[in-house]
Amino acid sequence: MKNVLICASTLGTMLVSAQKKDSLTTKSIDEVIISTYVKKDSDYSNKMPLKAIEDPQVYSSIGKGVLENQLLFTVDDAFRNVAGAQKMWSATNRAGDGGIFLNLRGFVAGNSIRNGMVAPITTSMDAINIERIEILKGPSATLFGSNVTSYGGVVNRITKKPYEAFGGAVSLAGGSYNYYRVQADVNAPVTNDKKLLFRLNTAYTNQGTFQKTNAKNSFYAFTPSLTYRPTENLEINAELEMFETNAYAEPAFFFYSSSAVLGADNMNKMKDFGYDYKQTYAGDGVKTTAKARNFFGQVNYKINDFIKSSTNVSTSYSYSDGFNPYYYFSPNPTNPSEIGVSRADQSTKDSKRTYFQLQQNFNADFKIGNVRNRTVAGFDYMRMNDNQFFMFTDFDWVPFNATSYANMNGETLTAKYKSLQSDPNFERNNTYISTGKKMSTADIYPMSLHL
């Protein structure tokens, strides 16, 4: 009986203690700030400024902090941080292509947008002037124009803007495969009243590859920008992107023949036949020279406390000239039981593509009763002109165990095309010309958000 009373007494004490603990008051916390790499507040995903919690779009955001901490110097490398983004193939170095090709939600995604405007870069995109990269997923990407996006999504690179203090940074980087890079970021107010601001980002990179350590691929970027605020209600921005590249294109392999003929349907199985992924399967001098000149101008004007206007103008010029070898696995023409590599080339000759785009947006932020309304309305006009000339030819077939592949080089390909030009069927069989005005679009888009 004593044991029972002791247990009951202990249980009663625990209940009283629990009741006292529950009755204690707690302090309320006004605000909790979690600092992370990903800052998803965006002025571009809906063409209106929205906080992440208000944004109905599905998108990923990669800030410059991620690029700096992961030592990522190109936009292409930054996509490793995006869930669902798959690299299809690398930049082709051809005019107007716009960097690497991505697969988003089963579609080839556009990679040619800067600050919401078309501005393609034909080669690997240097990230020296990148403040943030936004990857908008799904068919809502067509808000930026159906001609340069897809139902899978779009990549929009947001550039660095001048700020009101003097500052800057210079850095050097080096690595394997003869990689070295120098870059600089300099910002300065031009006038004492800080109404005119200037910023310059520039970089030079020289690198080899794991397949060709002495490739000496060179990449140069020069990206100045200006901001002028004559009044509190008016802001004028101007930016220039200049990129120049002289580099080998990354080798592309295709399964031209069926798996029944090759005995394999993927790269791992091809290794069993002797394929060496560290081999370039080509000699020296098969580089492409590529250039990009992109200008962006913007005038932001606050009409009143509720309506803001943004007028944007963008011009883009891309150029390419040089070789672009590609390969496909195929049987030996004289011995079908032996599998090897058929080598071919598709060159560009003094090819150019230009864009002109004009965009006007009006953003309204007002209340009807207790409901906050935010609306964007505007129009977009874009024109693209092509003046591209492609030459292509098969070169030869080589086995996987050849002692050298240097016979396919800049000199031999030049001689090959020169001999083909004497053929009266050269233009029909070995060239492709893309010229003229390709498209002219005018879009009107109203969009609203109610909170």
Asked if 121 and 132 count as a contact pair (C-beta separation under 8 A), the reply is: no
- Rounded to whole angstroms, the Cα distance separating 344 from 408 reads 9
Q: Taking all residues of the chain, what is their mean pLDDT, rounded to a whole number?
A: 85
Q: Give 390-404 pLDDT, tens digit per residue.
A: 999 999 999 998 999
The CATH code that applies to domain 52-157 is: 2.170.130.10
Q: How far is CA 263 from CA 131, 268, 287, in A?
A: 48, 12, 33
The answer on pLDDT for 15 being more than 50 is no
Residue (of 161, 414, 114) closest to 292 by Cα position? 114
60: confidence class by pLDDT, cuts 50, 70, 90:
confident
- Rounded to whole angstroms, the Cα distance separating 359 from 313 reads 6
The answer on pLDDT for 185 being more than 80 is yes
CATH 2.40.170.20 in the chain is located at: 163-450
Q: Give 151-173 pLDDT, tens digit per residue.
A: 888 888 999 999 999 999 999 99
- Rounded to whole angstroms, the Cα distance separating 239 from 168 reads 18
Q: Model pTM greater than 0.85?
A: no
CATH topology assigned to domain 163-450: Maltoporin; Chain A (2.40.170)
Quote the Cα angle for 376-45-133, to 5°.
Answer: 145
Quote the Cα angle for 296-299-118, to 5°.
Answer: 30
Higher pLDDT, 116 or 201: 201
The answer on pLDDT for 101 being more than 90 is no
Query: Among residues of the chain, what percentage have pLDDT more than 90?
Result: 49
- Range name among 226-230, 287-291, 327-331, 439-443 with the lowest pLDDT average: 439-443
The answer on pLDDT for 447 being more than 90 is no
Q: Give 233-269 pLDDT, tens digit per residue.
A: 999 999 999 999 999 988 889 988 888 888 888 888 8
Handedness of CA 402, 407, 410, 412 (dihedral sign): negative
Residue (of 187, 192, 218, 216) closest to 203 by Cα position? 218
pLDDT for residue 214: 92
CATH 2.170.130.10 in the chain is located at: 52-157
